């Protein structure tokens, strides 16, 4: 096992040489890119990457350009995780047979996919990879919609989110179902590590990615990716939205080790009311109408309940 790159502070981290390139087609201010950078820069090991169909894939690999400085594969929408699982299997086979071209290297296998590709259409494929114990990391770029195709709901879309297939209207407040708890489901596969990360807390993310890359077995990472285009905020405010996500506890940062040890990894000094998080995004602006204000109250209750639940689990070590 090669030594994990040492990153004491941001200045040290800034000496990283990105293996992801600009002049791609991602929106200005896209958080996907910030997350990808933090993940790839967390290691100096070789990488075999995949992306499922979605914003990241579609914007970084359009012929004749690739924005990837490591081997990368896209097959389809559901099967990005299985693609790296196949590559990882080939790595193991060639290692056994003594046919690796650079046998001294220790590649990491990472698949990137959106929430649509992971929670919905790719669910079975990820579940299969987690169950089979491949040495891969699946990173969900969670912007809570099918952003690439214009913002349709996914099972990650939270209650009250307005998007093109569950739009707010005169007789609807948008999405009616709560967000799927993908992290718990994946942790229940008895994988060594599952965690939620956010791009504003880079140190937390890098620590978790490094841990994920050092354990043997499948790792599931859910990264909140505030989407300027679909969440409807100014591109310059991506990091401000990321701050609101974590500090309002809508996206609590935690990890689950060996499927039953939950650790909360970020406790905001000042917890921000959920209302502020919602107010910053156009996709929730209809919730501020009189007839829907009760949903804001319900949002705060849900977030509080979830936070209490996480704290209980952390204490009980289950």
**Could you tell me the end-to-end alpha-carbon distance of the chain, in angstroms, rounded to an integer?**
29
**Is the previous residue joined to 64 through a cis bond, with omega within 30 degrees of 0?**
yes
The answer to whether the beta carbons of residues 139 and 112 sit under 8 Å apart is yes
Tokens 């204000």 -> residue: 293
**What distance in Å separates the CA atoms of residue 259 and residue 282, rounded to the nearest whole number?**
36
Any contact of residue 252 with other proteins (CB under 8 A)? no
Window 217-236: residues binding other proteins (CB under 8 A) = 234-236
Q: Does 44 bind other proteins (CB under 8 A)?
A: yes
Q: Which is nearer to other proteins, 64 or 290 (CB)?
A: 64
* Min separation Cβ 199 and other proteins, Å: 7
111 contacts 56 by C-beta, under 8 angstroms: no
Looking at residues 23 to 42 of the shown chain, list those that interact with other proteins (rule: CB under 8 A): 23-24, 26, 28-34, 37-38
Cβ 187 to other proteins shortest distance, Å: 18
* The binder of other proteins chosen from 39, 55, 85, 145 (CB under 8 A): 85
Candidate list 1, 3, 8, 102; residue touching other proteins; CB under 8 A: 102
Per the structure block, which two tokens stand in for 8? 């004491």
Which listed residue (2, 4, 75, 279) binds other proteins by CB under 8 A?
75
Phi, psi of 266 (to 5 degrees): -145, 125
Q: Is 301 in the site for other proteins (CB under 8 A)?
A: no
206 Cβ contact partners less than 8 Å away, ≥ 6 residues apart: 7, 13, 38, 41, 42
Nearest-angstrom CA–CA distance, 175 and 145 = 11
**Rounded to the nearest whole angstrom, what is the least distance from the CB of residue 201 to other proteins in the complex?**
11
Residues 16, 152, 165, 214: which binds other proteins (CB under 8 A)?
A: 16
- Binding of residue 314 to other proteins (CB under 8 A): no
- # residues near other proteins by CB under 8 A: 87
CA distance 124 to 106: 28
Cβ closest to other proteins, residue 100 vs residue 279: 100
Residues from 118 through 157 that contact other proteins (CB under 8 A): 124-125, 127-128, 131-132
Neighbours of 62 (CB within 10 A): 12
Binding residue for other proteins (CB under 8 A) from 54, 55, 56, 91?
91
Residue 65 within binding range of other proteins, rule CB under 8 A: yes
């Amino acid at each position: 096992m090669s030594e994990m790159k040492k990153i004491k502070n941001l200045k040290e981290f800034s000496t990283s040489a990105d293996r992801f390139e600009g002049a791609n087609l991602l929106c200005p201010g896209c958080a996907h890119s910030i997350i990808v950078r933090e993940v790839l820069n967390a290691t100096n090991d070789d990488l075999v990457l995949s992306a499922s169909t979605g914003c990241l894939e579609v914007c970084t690999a359009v012929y004749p350009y690739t924005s990837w400085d490591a081997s990368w594969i896209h097959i389809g929408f559901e099967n990005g995780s299985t693609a790296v699982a196949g590559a990882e299997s080939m790595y193991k086979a060639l290692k056994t047979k003594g046919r690796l071209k650079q046998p001294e290297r220790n590649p990491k296998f990472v698949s990137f996919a959106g929430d649509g590709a992971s929670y919905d259409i790719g669910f079975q494929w990820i579940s299969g990879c987690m169950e089979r114990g491949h040495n891969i990391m699946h990173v969900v770029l969670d912007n809570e919609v099918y952003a690439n195709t214009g913002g349709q709901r996914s099972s990650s879309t939270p209650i009250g989110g307005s998007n093109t297939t569950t739009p707010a209207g005169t007789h609807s407040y948008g999405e009616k179902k709560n967000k799927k708890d993908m992290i718990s489901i994946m942790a229940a596969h008895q994988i060594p590590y599952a965690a939620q990360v956010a791009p504003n807390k880079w140190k937390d993310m890098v620590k978790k990615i490094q841990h994920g890359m050092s354990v043997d077995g499948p790792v599931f990472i859910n990264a909140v990716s505030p989407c300027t285009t679909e969440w409807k905020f100014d591109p310059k405010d991506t990091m401000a939205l990321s701050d609101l996500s974590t500090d309002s506890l809508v996206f609590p940062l935690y990890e689950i080790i060996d499927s039953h040890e939950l650790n909360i990894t970020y406790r905001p000094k000042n917890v921000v009311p959920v209302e502020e998080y919602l107010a910053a995004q156009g996709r929730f602006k209809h919730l501020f109408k009189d007839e829907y204000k009760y949903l804001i109250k319900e949002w705060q209750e849900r977030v509080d309940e979830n936070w209490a639940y996480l704290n209980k689990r952390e204490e009980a070590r289950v």
